[in-house]
Chains A and B, each alone.
Chain A
Amino acid sequence: MAGVGNPKFLRPVAHTDADVGHAITFDAPFTLDCGKTIAPLTVAYMTYGTLNAAKSNAVLVCHALTGDQFVASDHPVTGKPGWWDTMVGPGKPIDTDRFFVLCANVLGGCMGTTGPAEICSATGRPYGLDFPLVTIRDMVRAQALLLDALGIEKVLSVIGGSMGGMQVLQWAASFPERVVSAVPIACAARHSAQNIAFHEVGRQAIMADPDWKGGTYQLHGTQPAKGLAVARMAAHITYLSEAALQRKFGRSLQDREQISFGFGPDFQIESYLRHQGSAFVDRFDANSYLYITRAMDYFDLAAEHDGVLARAFQRAKSRFLIVSFTSDWLFPTAENKHVAHALNATAAIVSFVEIATDRGHDAFLLDEPELFKTIRGFLNAVAVTVGA
């Protein structure tokens, strides 16, 4: 049984005119890859556009590590525009006049989908570290439940960048018959040692904060704000490129004429990172950050298939468009191309595009005209082919 209602967010809704979307609750126990179960399971989601009568125009957007379901509308907590409102909307490359776009907050998240901040029904207390470890595949299976509930058998496309791209790959591997086309952007079929290393730095920063309290901070009315902010600062550097940082900040000083011979934010880049850190704390849950980064670390699509990535896609029926960015060092072109070649080896229908930009990994969120052109052209061609 499933019930639909308003989502509950970790932080208060500050912008009451923003659409909060929906939350659907599944009472049946949801078994995770780790073997444990969650019950009930709530999935919070947003939709844009209209599902056609044939239910053939659905486009599922998968969000990244710190993203959420507010793709193309104002965020009810921060009031900021949707994180992909340059890509998704009326007349945009993912055209909501034409497609029914939906995005669900990932399992383990803190924007309404069940995660470590939620109250555990068995104990009456927030899960905290009692929340079971989740995987990218668990996230995808939770989204599949949502599609089932909405009566959507097939999606015209699954699209996402970074961790969203991992979900896209998992969708194509786990539910090949439900995915007409797949657009993994700036991602990889496995998390690299370097990427695991950066995540570990972030997690250690959170866990070293005395306010983390072994993950029980909600019971104490605190939160590891400093640790989470440092985690965000370190991660944020990996989303940019050296060239973009240099262009944007260089060695410019912040509100001062000279260096201070102290440890205040002398440089603009320091002030910028501090701002990124504190703004993040206002909207994100530290334990969610631990769980979701771990899910990315555990992601290794080939491992599920005897170490041969091509086998993961053996049953794939989707048309693929894989996109990378030249200056992305977090998920470099080589990783994306590796996926493309594995798909080629299975005779899948795959396109690979490498967009030239100096804006690093975050380019997928930014105004990149070639990215827009590529996605618009691809989606249109897929829609024409299947008559959606």
Chain B
Amino acid sequence: MTTTSALCDSLVKIVGKDFVSDQKEERYFYARDGGLMPPHEPDFVVMPKTTAEVQEIVKLANKEKVPLVPKGAGLALTGLVIPQRGGIVLDMKRMDRILEVNEKARYVVVEAGVTQGVLKSYLQKHHPHLRHSIPDSPPVATIVANAVIHGQGRLSQQHGFNSDMVSGLEVVLPTGELCRIGSCSVSSYWFSKGPPLPDLSGLFLGWFGTTGIITRLGLKLYPCKKMRDVMVFLTDKAELVPDMLLKLSHTEMIEDVVVSAAPLPLRFRGTFWIMTYITGDSDEELEFKRKMVWDALWEYFESRDVGFLSVSPDMKPPLMSMPSKDTSRFADVSKGGGFQYAGPIAPIEKFPAFIRKLEEVATKYNVFYASTTRLIGAGHCMMFSFSFSFNRANADEMARAKEALDECSKFALEEGGVLWKADIYEQKLLMDKMDPNTLVLMKKIKQLLDPNGIMNPGNWEVK
């Protein structure tokens, strides 16, 4: 094996000295994220600019059997880019070009470091009639990382997970070969990640960088209507929420539905905010959709189970903003700079049970909680967040928050949910419950693609 110093020299030759660091400060920062997973330092942080550089780095790492962890903004909060076995963290954010927008086929091709914020801004400026599904994560989250973790966003109620909106990939395999996935493998167009070909994108999406490094990604774009509004409904009856969500999605008129719950302010404790977003190109279209939404929920008004919140002018901007800064603000509820959530993907019928569990666990561990639920697809499932904020200066509170999260994850799994962006411990829980033949298949795929096990080791490791 090459010495650390020789490896450093080789990396410098590939990307230049300004973009390789083995200094303590970078190793410290890239050893952790904003969540609760224990840190582990990389040996190097490297920032490639081109696909060719990524290939060279991968070939080097594969030859030397050095772990390699591709990283976007590191905002999953479940430690997915913490280098569990050291090695090289590849910070992809210098690969920041938006390469193509095809207006007529409605897709964009981006490099791996393009952020949600930059793409949003670019589309608003250059293609204002197109948009992408913006997640609630901060704008520095990358398009690629969000797809790799099967993120959701503002268009997930209509179009599924953000990874369902991928329309092609360019991937550096763990042995260094460059591979195109989807229509772009046979055509200059990036309109489909699979069909009508075998859909190989599943070899990379959801694998957390353990099967290759995505260097380019095609993403479907959708019509951006001229107007947008939010209607907020309130109920204190959790058991009604699943049917309400189904009725809302039945209208096929809504952009997005999010249900939030939090114990503060006190006047809203026990109340669920059902935030229903609609869009339109005219007042008439928007008004028609408002009426459809009202009609869908009318029976609940008549039974006085639901109320309508008139959104004041000062409340509206934060509710409408994409991404929502309130998501990050939750980290400061405990005045301590941390929050993490277990976000199981589950049938929406589980909403009442999950809410009860959240309140029970928060009381048990004395931690501050919140929850945001997003409808995914036409009622096909939901992402339910068991969110806990904590003070990073309070080790005891951090430990309690972790215990609360673990208990919620186990509960969600028992209830039939599947853990989203699972940390390495949750991955083990999932794999313990997984069909054995599925596990064997995963193992074969991993061994085939990454024979030396260099890619993000510790994650999705089938024993």
Whether both chains belong to one complex is answered with no
